[in-house]
Amino acid sequence: MSYRSPLGRARGLGSAKQGTHHFWIQRVTAVALIPLVLWFVYSIAQLPSADYEAVRWWVHAPSVAVALVLFVSCVLYHSLLGVQVVIEDYVAGEGAKITALLLSKFVHVVAAVAGIFAVLKIALT
């Protein structure tokens, strides 16, 4: 019994050779997040206060700004891949699934751009 769909057989196309790309990038971002999460949690816990001036002064330091940009990018990329799998697993209708996947992708990209912009704005002003 062939598991290929009639459309797949008609097109005669095989694997796009990117079957493990999602899996691999999820692991790459996971490994990158090991030091970044430790740094982020430790730094936030060490902040003298959550005042506007204190937090701005912290983000303004170049090393902190670079680490924050990396943290925000890796977190949102890792989150995008994870949320995609959850939607694919639990949203059954094809229309609802594609809508949810598109919405998730847009929200993640907008959040990443906004987060990186905010950090750079503080660091460069």
Partner 1 sequence: MSTPASNKNLPQRPLSPFMIGPYYKPQMTSMLSITHRLTGLGLSFGALLLVVWLSCLAAGPECYAVIAPHLAAWYGKLVIFAFTWSLLYHFCNGIRHLMWDLGKGLDLPTAEKTGYAVIFASLGLTAGVFALSLT
Give the Cα separation of 39 and 71 in Å (integer): 9
Q: Which of 12, 34, 62, 63 binds partner 1 (CB under 8 A)?
A: 34
Using DSSP, state whether 70 is helix, strand or coil. helix
Task: Answer yes or no whether residue 42 interacts with partner 1 by CB under 8 A.
Answer: yes
* Closest distance of CB 100 from partner 1, Å: 13
The Cα–Cα gap between 60 and 75 comes to 21
* Distance, C-alpha 81 to centroid of its chain: 7
Of positions 22, 61, 66, 86, contacts partner 1 by CB under 8 A:
86
Which class for 33: exposed (0-12), middle (13-18), buried (19 or more C-beta within 10 A)?
Answer: middle
105 interacts with partner 1 by CB under 8 A:
no
- Which residue ranges make up the site for partner 1 (CB under 8 A)? 1-6, 27, 30-31, 33-34, 37, 41-42, 44-47, 50-52, 55-56, 59, 68, 72, 75-76, 79, 82-83, 86, 92-94, 107, 111-112, 114-115, 117-119, 121-122
